[in-house]
Amino acid sequence: MPLSRDEHELIRAAAAGDRRAFDELIRLKRESVVRTAYQITGDMDDALDVAQGVFLKLWRGLEQFDPRRRFDTWVYRITVNAAIDMLRSRGPRGMLQPLPDEPGELEAVEKTSVEERIDRRRLQQAFLRLAGALAPRQRAAFVLREIEGQETSEIAAALGVTESTVRNHLLQARRTLRAGLEREYPGLVPRKSRGDGEEGC
């Protein structure tokens, strides 16, 4: 997604020392930064520590940001590196907890039948458990591609590797996660035969 004019203005103002503009930038980016950090570290406290460090680094380095480049890629790069460092420094966690429910989420869920709905809480638990088997960069590549929807080129820029390396990381990560899902969570992702989907789509 190209940089919006508003965001461009905010970056320029924040780089000039405008704290209110920077607060607005935090508000725009904090959720994706925390979610990415959380999916890589598997721990909300660690994710918040990473996010704090990321925004501090952004505040101190905004002057060096090249506006011709994609701001989100730069943010992801700092986030991913900080999260990987955190992951490596503290080792795997024993117990991983999914994100707490937002108020109102349960109410929305009630509207859908149980059979149709995927249990995202269990899905999150499964991811945190299975992703523990991935190398930090494989995990980061998978999170950026599948959970954050980033392009391969952007992931390559964020991780500081080639696109070919990203594709290799993704291939390995998918293979590991797919095998783990089938082995440890066979009922979590209900699958029907190809023909059963015709009704819906």
Q: What is the DSSP letter of 118?
A: -
Instruction: Please report how close the Cβ of residue 9 comes to other proteins at its closest, in angstroms.
Output: 20
Phi, psi of 132, deg, nearest 5: -60, -20
Q: Are the C-beta atoms of 50 and 82 separated by less than 8 Å?
A: yes
Cβ count near 153 (within 10 Å): 12
Name 71's Cβ contacts closer than 8 Å, sequence gap at least 6.
Answer: 3, 7, 11, 65
Cα maximum dimension of the chain: 59
Of 31, 160, 164, 184, the one binding other proteins (CB under 8 A) is: 31
Can residue 124 be called a binding residue for other proteins (CB under 8 A)? Answer: yes
Of 61, 67, 160, 190, the one binding other proteins (CB under 8 A) is: 190
Of 6, 16, 27, 67, the one binding other proteins (CB under 8 A) is: 27
Question: Which residues in this chain contact other proteins in the complex, by CB under 8 A?
Answer: 1, 19, 23, 26-27, 30-31, 34-35, 38-39, 44, 48, 51-52, 55-56, 59-60, 98-100, 102, 105, 112, 115-118, 120, 123-124, 127, 142, 146-149, 173-174, 177-178, 181-182, 188-192, 194, 196-201
